[in-house]
Amino acid sequence: MFASLGRFVVRRPWWVILAWVIAAAAVISLAPKLTSSSDEASFLPGDYEAIRASDVQEKDFPQQRNIGAIIVFQRSDGARLTARDSASVAKIATALNKEKIKGIDAVAPGSTSPNKRVQTAAVAMPKVTDPADKSPQDAVKKLREDLKPDLRGTGLKAGVTGSAAQALDESESSERAGMLVAAGTVVIIVLLLLVIFRSPIIALLPVVLIGLISPMATGLIASANEAFDMKADSSIQELLTVVLFGVGTDYILFLLFRYREALRAGEDSKSGMVHAVERVGEAIASAAGAVIVAFAALALSTLGMLKSMGPALAIAVFVTLLAGLTLVPAVVSLLGTRVFWPSKAWRHEPKGAVFTRLGTSIARRPAVWALISALVMGGLAVGALGYRANFDLAGSSLPKTKESMVAMRDMQKGFPAGTVDPTSVYLSSDDDRPLSAARAASFRTDLGKVEGVGSVSAPKLSPDRSTASYSVVLSDPPASDEALSTVKDRLRPAAHDGAPRGTKALVGGITAVYVDINKAVDRDYSVVFPVAALCIMVILGLLLRSLVAPWYLMLSVALGFGATLGATSILFQQIGSQPGLMFMLPVIMYLFVVALGTDYNILMVSRLREEAREGRDPRDAAGTAIRHSGPTIAAAGVILAGTFATLMLAGNSTLSQMGFALSFGIVVSAFVMAMVFTPSLTALIGHAAWWPGHGDEKREPAAPTASPPPSSPSSPSSPAD
């Protein structure tokens, strides 16, 4: 099949290129804009308690204002606030209300902190449900501008924090991050390809081709999100950039290395490309299939951010696969050997001393190398035992110097840390009968006794008096482990058990959202991981016609995952000062390390089988496969790890953690799993590794097929080279 595809593309390269250009233009012009959201609550399904509490608020307290931001005032000289200062705060709030800032309903001055260090003003905003609506961020931006002249001459300083302010700071930070990631990715790919091939044409080939398919993939993802009402996480654009360039460059490398090998064997440029597509097409398609099913498994997640991220990345990889098997061979077949210009090194087989020595050593002592690589990955995996999840996607990813973060720290000088995002508790009558004032007050007293609760407001009753609303300020920051423990282990049980007969209680708010996300993630771990692993094993089994090899290949991937999570936990939690790792990092890391790491395993084991079919014994096949495939895997691993590492340029901890974890995982996948562990075990297991299909058995060479007629004078000895 792949030989036929290769012949078709090589014979009609201009038609293939034209079809891609037309398809890209159509998708880009017709597709909607790709939008994303950083609102964690929007990613939870409706049956979780935090969402049901939000529904109660919408139904029974529609007039309740949404506090989207908080202005934190303090004296410029650090002294305690006076009555005159409080009067200045009230005057500033009045002035801001008169300015009628679009997107702000009201600015209401609050009370001074008990220690007189800070005073707040609550900024009420309309509730926004559309992820694409940036009006709260625009309102905060205008608020900050208008606040500066109002502070002059008052002796006060102020900063704006809260969810809308954090969203604005995150958006500005993400724009910078996106540009840095895109620029860093392109620079790394170009430089590394220049070093490997010494050809500016090959160095620019991925940039040009993936630059064409990137907006096409983005358009298809946006169309799918709109068609199936999916929400994309705010980091999706950066991930798409590195996935498209990283995976796309890998597939181009797999093809070019095999193309160069065919040229060195004496084939002309046209038949050499057909040979390359035939030999690596199955490996590339299987590798991409493993990535696609792993990403698609995220559709089983209960979290909207993962449910949409998985199919989005699967679409991107599918488009990249199609380009790798059609567009890339078409372009290279037109260029011929000129693609390597000005280098002449493609004509000669390199000595490859490092990979030759490694292959020879593994062929001689496969048990020793298997044990060493397993101990390295297992030792790092021990660090995964210290993993802690962090659920504050906005606050934890922002630089500490951003205004929203500075103002939040200032507010904690005088108020409980949970003041910025109070927890909401709703007590509702089961039969819609009015709640008595005594029962509502008694329930408030019970809530106030819960350990970890700083204060509980007086109950507000709905118009029909069937529901009471309580604002509960926690003693700890809303996203901290302590706050999550308070809500999960104490506040919710106390509210549920303490609800008077004939009533029910629901606990909502951002901390409750984090608690429910934690519950959803635990459920996803038990579903998504096994489904993705099973699907990848099925693909491996079909590719290798074996029931044995997929098991130890997945064992190597599992060790690689554990090693990556352990190393990331050690770096960011134990050596660094992070309270935990991004809560969805293990899911993303598992899928990237498992799926993309399987790419290299597939490439290596396919070459192992090919060498065995040439009549080599298992150990000799392992050594030869490492000598031939080692340079390809090393180059692809370095480039892919480098592209993921560009995420660390973003300047926020969330993308830094993701960048390190994914780049480290790729390094482990390429240099430990695929280049050492997999060939060592295959050499040890021998012929049984291919049971029951025995795909390693020597095959008689197929009858030669006529090469397609050349469409250009390029050949290995062309003067153009």
Distance CA 714, CA 315 (A): 35
Looking at per-residue pLDDT, the higher value among 153 and 698 belongs to 153
Query: If DSSP codes are grouped into helix, strand and coil, which group holds residue 393?
Result: coil
User: Would you state the structure tokens that stand for residue 698, as one six-digit string?
Assistant: 């020597």
**Phi/psi at 533 (5° precision):** -65, -40
Using a 10 angstrom Cβ sphere, with 0-12 exposed, 13-18 middle and 19 or more buried, the burial of residue 422 is buried
Half-sphere exposure at residue 444, Cβ-oriented, CA atoms within 13 angstroms: 19
SS3 call for 714: coil
Q: What is the pLDDT of residue 721?
A: 33
Q: Between these two residues, 473 and 163, which has the higher pLDDT value?
A: 473
Q: What is the pLDDT of residue 712?
A: 41
At 77, which helix (H) or strand (E)? Answer: none
Which residues touch 57 (CB under 8 Å, ≥6 apart)?
64, 424, 426, 469, 508
**How many Å is the Cα radius of gyration of the chain?**
30
Average pLDDT over every residue of 100-121: 90
Amino acid occupying residue 477 = P
At 653, the pLDDT band (50, 70, 90 cuts) reads confident
Termini Cα distance of the chain: 31
Rounded to an integer, what distance in angstroms lies between the CA atom of residue 515 and that of residue 485?
Answer: 8
* Mean pLDDT of the chain, nearest integer: 83
- pLDDT given at position 393: 59
Angstrom distances, CA of residue 719 to CA of 1, 268, 270, 338, 696: 34, 14, 17, 10, 41
Alpha helix positions (H), 545-584: 549-569
Average pLDDT score over residue span 660-668: 91
**Positive or negative CA dihedral for 676, 203, 248, 607?**
negative
- Rounded Cα distance between 601 and 592, Å, is 14
- Provide the pLDDT for residue 598: 78
What's the confidence (pLDDT) of residue 695? Answer: 57
State the pLDDT at residue 396: 59
Q: Read off the pTM.
A: 0.74
Residue 700: per-residue pLDDT: 54
Question: What percent of the residues of the chain are helix, what percent strand, and what percent coil, each to the nearest 5?
Answer: 65, 10, 25
pLDDT above 80 (res 31): no
Q: Give me the mean pLDDT over the 503-521 stretch.
A: 89
Q: Are 581 and 657 in contact (CB under 8 A)?
A: yes
Instruction: Give the residue-averaged pLDDT of 196-213.
Output: 84
| pLDDT value at 45 more than 70 | yes
With contact defined as beta carbons under 8 Å apart, do 230 and 224 qualify? yes
d(CA 171, CA 106): 24
